[in-house]
A and B are shown apart, each in its own frame.
Chain A
Amino acid sequence: MSEFLGLYPYWVVIFLMMTGFYIVISRGNLIKKVIGLNIFQSSVFLLYISIGKVSGATAPITAEGFEVYGNPLPSVLILTAIVVGVATTSVALALVVRIREAYNTIEEDEIKDEIRTQGAGP
């Protein structure tokens, strides 16, 4: 049981991930969905960085007088992932703006109604 509690940062990160997932599947507003995806994404970053932590180590910048360094590889992966994440977020937001142009709403339910009454979109 104490082992289970000792991993509490992982459980908090999984809770944050599921919060983002919940927003994505339960909210009908498209911008809200993008925000949910962002929370999910940030939680994955936090999970990787917490795996790279080494107790008693310092940041992976070599210097005199330090022997133990943290794990640099999760940092490298997540640096790439953060930038790619922003690129995908901007494409998602551009899609939302385009959908608003076509349907004059960003609520999923209203878009579905419009498609049902008018056939395919404009």
Chain B
Amino acid sequence: MTPSTDLLTALILTLLVGTAVAVVRMRGLFPALMLMGIFSLLGASWMLVLDAPDVAFTEAAVGAGVSTILGLTALALTARRAKTSSRKPWPALVIVTITGAALVYGMSDAPGVGDPAAPASKYPVPSYVERTDHDIHIPNVVTAVLASYRGFDTLGETVVIFTAGIAVLALIGGVAVSVRNTGPAGGRAGDGQGGDQPDELARGVEPAA
């Protein structure tokens, strides 16, 4: 790595740690979700530094974009704030420290970041890079592996998304209908009685307020 990318890496990693710690301390769910968007964007920036532009694009679009929208939808249907939990933090901290120490021990003899002699970069990567242009006739090796060499994996991924869509519909298809039914009714009541009637939909959205 050149000194400038080293500096950039250190900056992005510092910001990632700061964001994650802020999410832990946050009680409001809305700010926590917004910080998650920032977390994903920082992650995507680091992926770009690590020469993985395809993943960086996907993470920025899906991680920072679609996930945030899904989270906001869930917030609108549930609650805005988390209540202060009565449980003690120590058992969780002990478990997390032990798990983290085990992970550090497991990673401690890994090859360094960017080591060209690392086993992960030796086999079978060079053959993919050499053959893509001849076999698939496109320059992007990631796309070639994703859509052609490992095309069945991508088909399986599509099946997973389809299944998830069916599961979501089966779980909350009825909820969406009930929210739609209370919404206009509450709005009409508010209009008819000069606005002193509390809006049903607003009460449903913000039970804490």
B3 part of interface (Cβ distance < 8 Å): no
Q: Note all chain B residues with C-beta closer than 8 A to A9.
A: 9, 13, 113
Whether B78 pairs with A26 at a CB distance below 8 angstroms is no
Whether B100 pairs with A15 at a CB distance below 8 angstroms is yes
Q: Note all chain B residues with C-beta closer than 8 A to A118.
A: none
* CB nearest neighbor in A for B103: A14
Whether B20 pairs with A20 at a CB distance below 8 angstroms is yes
- The size class of the interface chain B forms with chain A is 35 or more
Whether B139 pairs with A62 at a CB distance below 8 angstroms is yes
Q: Note all chain B residues with C-beta closer than 8 A to A38.
A: 36, 67
A70 interface neighbour in B52, B100, B145, Cβ under 8 Å: B52
What is the interface of chain B mostly: helix, strand, loop, or mixed? helix
- The size class of the interface chain A forms with chain B is 35 or more
Whether A57 pairs with B153 at a CB distance below 8 angstroms is no
Whether B54 pairs with A71 at a CB distance below 8 angstroms is no
B107 smallest CB distance to A (angstroms): 5
A95 with B146, Cβ < 8 A, contacts A20-B20, A29-B82 known? no
CB within 8 Å of A: which residues of B? 1, 9, 13, 16-17, 20-21, 23-24, 29, 32-33, 36, 39-40, 43, 46-47, 50-55, 58-59, 62-63, 66-67, 70-71, 73-75, 77-79, 82-83, 85-87, 89, 92-93, 95-97, 99-100, 103-104, 107-108, 110, 112-116, 118, 120-121, 125, 128-129, 132-133, 139-142, 145-146, 150, 153-154, 157, 160-161, 163-165, 167-168, 171-172, 175, 178, 207
